[in-house]
Structure 1
Amino acid sequence: MLFDRVLIANRGEIAVRIARTLRALGIEAIAVHTPSDAGARHVGEADAALQVPSYLDVEAIVGAARASGAQAVHPGYGFLAENATFARRCAESGLVFVGPPAAAIEAMGDKIRAKETVSAAGVPVVPGATGPGLEDWRDFPALIKPSAGGGGKGMILVRAAAELPEALASARRTARAAFGDDTLLIERYVESPRHIEIQVLADAHGGVVHLGERECSLQRRHQKIIEEAPSPFLTPETRAAMGAAAVEAARAVGYTGAGTVEFIVDGATGAYHFMEMNTRLQVEHPVTELVTGLDLVELQLRVAAGERLPLAQEDVRLDGHAVEARVYAEDPARGFLPTGGRVLALREPGDPAGQAVVRVDSGLSEGAVVGSEFDPMMAKVIAWAPDRPAAYRTLDRALAATAVLGVVTNVPFLRALTAHPAVAAGELDTGLVERVLPGLLPAVETPDAVTAAAALVFHDQPRGDDPWEVADGWRLGEPAWTTWRLESRDGVHAIQVRGLPQEQAEVLVGEQAVPARIRRDGADLTVTLGGRGERYLCVRDGDTLWLGRDGASWSFTRHHIGDPGDRPGAAAAGDGVVRSPMPGTVLLVKAQQGERVSAGQPLVVVEAMKMEHTVTAPRDGVVTELPVQAGRPVDMDAVLAVVTAEEA
């Protein structure tokens, strides 16, 4: 018998996605949230919610589950999903942990132990070593990995023996700091590797099946970006062999529930080797759901409730092709630094008519604040179609219809990546993104004469009965030009406009006056410059205007810098102004007000998402403003310091 009430020990898009299945099954969904997450979407979509101090607080979450009357806890992924202590505490408290036994989590959580376990079961593994004597390794190139780690943290590629001692020391430092365990292993590095993983399901009655593979080779710094199912590389014979190996790996540790066995596949020979097993639901599970027609969360719940798997291996069928893109709050043009802000307007793509399918797994809602406390992934856009080219075309259209105004995202980068010829041809490996990265980074240029002078300086000039209140620049002879400063991500623009947007206005482009009009329909804005019209999603936040189109977004902050008749040409604002490249916390202040500094000298260190960024002086001069303190939070683009030239 299934549960009546399940607590979701997670947040964001995965909590919303789990709640969707619980609702379909008639099971009450209980959410947990931290104080800062009280208004989050996953809280609003649950049947009840309880506050906890942290999503990592085992005792608080177990206590919340018991207080809510929940019979089971679904951990989602991340946070406590692969925490054996949490799984044990649930069992000790009479709660069903919707996941594998604690012993299986421990067996697969240690990379060294996992390799030994699956190798004994006959699963091929990459040749490697651990323990003392790593300094004597001579099979290069080689990859060093922290045994207790994940997510690519601490992994170092070593090409020659001379690099090995320093690489080992660096990996140990990272592993000790990140995981509290500096045990390492070293493996032969597979050139042109493809990252292919197999989805497995196991029940408590000995039933184990696999649901085919997912290709996860499109990565940056060992972090997946786009995943698809099935892989364009595997033959039916290799798929069957890898699936059987994954099933044996799951059997070797007494696995139950949904899990993923990850393999490194040699792109030249097709040889595959076990890499690790993720003992939880994966971020990319929707592509498997779309090609199999199965709900993995429902199957997790049924297995956790003691039911047998409802299908045998011969019942598994793969239909069509699915591809998923991860939408992150990050700025590719600024080195993929995390971004943040309040979601001012949100458009997520719907399911188009015809044979294609679009699915969005999202934790976003208008008004939500995207901060630096959590992982920057906000949503996933997933497309299914009868074949791979159609699936990618559908994904591109869905990304173009995605708009998150108020937060800079990676959507333009995702569209560029999906359109790359190597991706279209299925010629993938885990190093492809890094090799072609410069050509994928979208320019941060502002379109169309500073987007028709930021929609004629926010198109809100008053129009009353008193002609002296009409801000159209009227004067004898001809309308006057009004000069504004518009700040955007690509710099500061001194622009001139005259006239009213509702009638006939003009923007000065160079020395030429170009007709400009705007027409608003709800949140949609059509900007016409010189006869060419573009449609944008539009929202205003005080003195900042956000515009979105084709998956990209632009923001403009306005400042009036002149009386009618002024001409552009003033010095760009912000010279010497140092701004925070991301929302986060000031870790260190390395300068003092009044100090003479040189261009490039470190001033402030900002930390976000466990990433440190050192902000430096933009020029020689004196620090005339330093309005920050160590330990204090800062918003993206907040002023950290002002460096004034000494002659000024």
Structure 2
Amino acid sequence: MFDTVLVANRGEIAVRVVRTLRAMGIRSVAVYSEPDAGALHTRVADVAVSIGPAPAVDSYLSVERVLDAAARTGAQAVHPGYGFLSENVEFARACEKAGIVFIGPPVAAIEAMGDKIRAKQTVTAAGVPVVPGRTEPGMDDAAVAAAAVEAGFPVLLKPSAGGGGKGMRVVRAEAELPGAIAAARREARGSFGDDTLLVERYIGSARHVEVQVLGDAHGTVVHLGERECSLQRRHQKVVEEAPSPLLSPAQRARMGTAAVEAARAVGYTGAGTVEFIVDAERPADFFFLEMNTRLQVEHPVTELVTGLDLVELQVRVAAGEPLPFGQDDVALTGHAIEARVYAEDPARGFLPQSGTVLGLLEPVGTGVRVDSSLAVGSVVGTDYDPMLAKVVAHGPDRETARARLVAALGHTAVLGVPTNTAFLRALLADPDVVAGRLDTGLIERRGEALTAAGPVPPTVYAAAALAELLEAEPAGPVVDRWDVPDGWRLGEPAWTVRRLQAPGGEPVTVRVRGRSSAAEVQVGDGDPLPATARRDGGELVVTLRGLTSRYAVVHSGGQLWLAGDGRVTALREHERLHAAEEGAAGDGAVTAPMPGTVTLVQVAVGDRVEAGAPLLVVEAMKMEHVLTAPLTGTVTELGVTAGHQVRLDERVAVVTPPAADEEG
């Protein structure tokens, strides 16, 4: 067994791998880029090594720097986690050349399955069904377009390298092909260093089911059941569960056998996942999508229903040990569901967000597991994937697991960084999700029913006013009555008035008077209500209308963050609101919908554009967003160039309508 293992990754997966290494008595080495100095994964590891600046290509994707860190720390093996170098055949080959064990499959297996084109050819030869399409290597744009027309619309453009939905595009008409091909190649090249594309028929009523496989160097290959990953947005998984509510035991056995045969076809060892797409109306029909030659983000649900530690098994197989069980020994117990917590704003099209973690609540309880890299003070930037944590729940049946997960998400809060936790709770409460009627288009069909932020409850505004009242009160005994900022005066106490506003909402007038132990609060035109507030263990405890709620409260930059009652709210004093929020929609101004980097500028000042025409592309956390003209007119202002770093809501361009042109 290894003495020292380097974890060539960051975030929650690095933390998760380090914890298993520690349980095995193995010394762990973390690597980090400059912005990740002091990140949680560097603190839980035994040793941490700096490997370069923020861009992943100069740090986490640098084969030379990672191997140098391994050599300097005496690491005998490298665990790549997922993403970054985990499916990079050149990295695996370089490890082999350096005499360092790559905790993953052999180079030949990565080559065969890492290239989706070759993977399809390999499994087809092994008798595994595949989705119709064209998988010829080296197709230029014309060939990709021809393949799309041949397959019939809608089609799916997919990068041959990599995964995670990066670079994938659904194309529904021939006219969309040029722009979609260019965007898919650009995103694939930026994420994986390879812009080769393949074309598949897009199956609209689809369920995404994947099978976990394990193989050792002694000829044993087994599967550990399947995971349902159909709840997706932008081809990125959001909620996963094991086992799938779709499959019968016979269907599970058939799909598991196909997955094992696919793994055997390439001499697979270690942990891997064979992904299938299943027609929701005809679950007996399944097609091979790809094989991920690495650990998956959603591996915890398999661990919870099998009782196995997949990272430990990866390490033991890489060290030459045989698997300690066979297929007949694998049993699935209960049900597990995982939800991915992202730094994103569902109400704004799931655009990535950034910020500093000012406060943090993570759930605990029976059957609840949290894989996270978050800590108070952590900086969430735009250089890497926006996933922050995974909240997982296990129970004796699916409904118990689902209910536990909904409750756990209600006690999950990241103050200072907008996240998707409220969306996840709404998704898990959707009637079709509750019933197990899933498909990859469900989130898109539900639209605003799941993603709308909704109005902030009056109780939150009341809690905000009480929090500020409590903060302003003297901590010790009162010597002079005039020192108490409670509005007291001869006669009736005066009201303290504030105008608070939530993102995207209207200003709300909140009045408060009295002391926190005996206050009155009025929200908007509502009736004044008696209320009390006190501190308890760092939390704000508010009693209003006879109901008591607990809030985590943080002040930062003129903003008040409150987490309680299953939601996180950021409120600002109305007078401090940024002027850019007012009236931009109708005046031709184009603002950045997320913090990030401008990767492409497609117009120049003086260009005439039609409404909806692409102006520029902003990239953040490996995702591209095309900014379009809000109206027909002339580009009269362009404040950015390629490579420019933009802030959220920063004005980047202005399109002036024709009438204004003529008047000027």
Residues 156 and 167 of structure 1 are in contact (CA less than 8 Å); yes or no, is this contact kept in structure 2?
no
Q: How far apart are 1:518 and its partner, in Å?
A: 1.6
- Please name the residue that 2:177 is paired with: 167
Are the counterparts in 2 of residues 363 and 378 from structure 1 also a CA contact under 8 Å? Answer: yes
* Match status 1:99 vs 2:104: yes
Partner of 2:55: none
Most deviating of 455-464 and 264-273: 455-464
Q: Is the 8 A contact 2:166 2:187 kept in 1?
A: no
Are the equivalent residues in 1 in contact too, given 2:78–2:100 (CA < 8 A)?
yes
- Once the two structures are aligned, what percentage of the paired residues are identical? 59
The answer (yes or no) to whether the contact 2:222–2:326 under 8 Å persists in 1 is: yes
- Distance in 2 separating the partners of 1:410 and 1:108: 32
Deviation, structure 1 residue 634:
5.1
- Where 1:137 maps in the other structure, the secondary structure is helix
Contact 2:133 2:147 (8 Å CA) reproduced: no
* Offset at residue 86 of structure 1 (A): 0.5
Distance 2:602 2:441 in 1: 36
Other-structure match for 1:567:
none
Among 253, 268, 273, the residue aligned to 2:281 = 268
Instruction: Write the distance in 1 (CA, Å) between the matches of 2:654 and 2:550.
Output: 38
Note the 1:177-188 alignment, pairs <5 A.
Answer: 178-179=188-189, 183-188=196-201
3-state SS of 1:14 partner: helix
Q: Is the 8 A contact 2:531 2:545 kept in 1?
A: yes
Aligned with 2:87 (options 82, 92, 95): 82
1:190-211 per-residue CA deviation (whole Å, 9 max, x = no partner) reads 3411111010011112111111
More displaced 10-residue stretch of structure 1: 173-182 or 189-198: 173-182
Q: Is the 8 A contact 1:485 1:559 kept in 2?
A: yes
Partner residue of 1:546? Answer: 561
Q: Does 1:208 align with 2:221?
A: yes
Whole-angstrom CA distance in 2 between matches of 1:615 and 1:169: 13
Q: Over residues 128-157 of structure 1, what are the superposed CA-to-partner deviations in whole Å (9 max), with x where a residue is unaligned? A: 224455266155554343333533344444
Q: How does 1:449-528 map to 2 (within 5 A)?
A: 451-452=461-462, 454-456=464-466, 458-459=468-469, 460-463=471-474, 464-491=478-505, 492-507=507-522, 509-510=524-525, 512-528=527-543
Q: Distance in 2 between matches of 1:580 and 1:296?
A: 41
8 Å contact kept, 1:499–1:506 = no
* 1:290 alignment partner in structure 2: 304
Q: Following the alignment from structure 1 to structure 2, what is the Cα–Cα distance between the partners of residues 63 and 27?
A: 20
Q: CA contact under 8 A between 1:602 and 1:617: conserved in structure 2?
A: no
1:426 to 426, 436, 440: 436
Distance 2:611 2:532 in 1: 43
Where do 5+ consecutive residues of structure 2 fail to align? 53-58, 137-142
Task: Report the Cα offset of residue 343 of structure 1.
Answer: 1.1
Cα distance in 2 for partners of 1:87, 1:536 equals: 48
My pick for the range that moved more, 336-345 or 519-528, is 519-528
The aligned residue for residue 436 of structure 1 is 446
Q: 1:603 to 1:262 in 2, by over 3 A?
A: closer
**1:31-66 Cα shifts (integer Å, max 9, x gaps):** 001111111000000001100011111100000001
Q: How does 1:243-392 map to 2 (within 5 A)?
A: 243-269=256-282, 270-352=284-366, 357-392=367-402
In structure 2, the residue matched to 1:120 is: 125
What is the alpha-carbon distance in structure 2 between the residues aligned to residue 313 and residue 77 of structure 1? 25
Which residue identity does 2:165 align to in structure 1? Answer: G
For each residue in 1:6-33, what CA deviation from the matched residue of structure 2 results, as whole angstroms up to 9, or x when unmatched? Answer: 0000011000000111010000110001
The Cα of 1:583 is off from its aligned counterpart by 3.0
Give per-residue Cα distances to partners, 1:252-300, cap 9 Å, x unaligned.
Answer: 1111110000011122222111110000000000010011111000000
> What is the TM-score normalised by the length of structure 1?
0.87
**Partner Cα separation in structure 1 for residue 603 and residue 197 of structure 2:** 38
Query: Within 5 A, what are the aligned runs for 1:19-168?
Result: 19-53=18-52, 54-131=59-136, 132=143, 134=147, 137=150, 139=152, 141-148=154-161, 150-158=163-171, 163-164=173-174, 166-167=176-177
Which is helix-richer, 1 or 2? Answer: 2
Deviations 1:477-503 (A, max 9, x none): 322233333232133334333333233
1:508–1:514 CA contact under 8 A, matched in 2 = no
Counterpart position of 1:564: none
* CA pair 536-182 structure 1, distance change in 2 beyond 3 A: closer
Q: Structure 1's 599 and 140: CA in aligned 2 closer, same or farther, altered over 3 A?
A: closer
What SS does the corresponding residue of 2:552 show, helix, strand or coil? strand
State the shift of 1:327 in Å: 0.5
Q: Give the corresponding residue for 2:412.
A: 402
Distance 1:604 1:125 in 2: 37
**Maintained 8 Å contact 2:96/2:102:** yes
Measured in 1, the distance between the counterparts of 2:654 and 2:556 equals 25
Moved more, 272-281 or 630-639: 630-639
> How big is the shift at 1:84?
0.4
How far 1:213 sits from its partner (Å)? 0.5
The 1:210–1:4 alpha-carbon spacing in structure 2 relative to 1, beyond 3 Å, is same
Alpha-carbon distance between aligned partners in 1 of 2:17 and 2:508, rounded to the nearest angstrom: 46
Per-residue deviation at 1:615? 9.0
Secondary structure (helix, strand or coil) at the match of 2:518 reads coil
> Aligned with 1:557: secondary structure?
strand
* Separation in structure 2 between the aligned mates of residue 497 and residue 42 of structure 1, nearest angstrom: 44
Superposition TM-score, scaled by structure 2 size: 0.85
Closer, same or farther: CA 96–539 of 1 in aligned 2, 3 Å = same
SS in 1 for 2:425: helix
Match of 1:192 in 2: 205
Match of 2:528, SS?
A: strand
How far the C-alpha of 1:104 sits from its partner, in A, is: 1.1
Structure-2 change in CA distance of 1:605 and 1:309 (3 Å): closer
Q: Which moved more, 1:69-78 or 1:462-471?
A: 462-471
Report deviation, 1:588. Answer: 8.4
> Cα distance 1:82–1:320, how it changes in 2: closer, same or farther (>3 A)?
same
Q: 1:165 to 1:330 in 2, by over 3 A?
A: closer
- Alignment CA distance shift 1:506-1:205 (3 Å): closer
Say whether 1:575 aligns with 2:582: yes
RMSD: 3.5
- Taking a change above 3 Å as real, the CA distance of residues 59 and 588 of structure 1, as seen in their structure-2 partners, is closer
- Say whether the 8 Å CA contact 1:362–1:380 is kept in structure 2: yes
**How far apart in 2 are the matches of 1:505 and 1:189?**
58
For 1:329 and 1:219, the matched residues in 2 are separated by: 16
Contact 1:149-1:175 within 8 A present in 2 as well: no
- The superposition leaves residues 79-98 of structure 1 with CA deviations (integer Å, 9 ceiling, x where unpaired) of 10000011011111110000
2:171 & 2:570 partners in 1: Cα distance? 43
1:254 is paired with a residue whose SS is coil
Task: Check whether the contact 1:453–1:497 (CA below 8 A) recurs between aligned residues.
Answer: no
Q: Structure 2 CA distance, aligned partners of 1:58 and 1:11?
A: 15
Shift of 1:103: 1.8
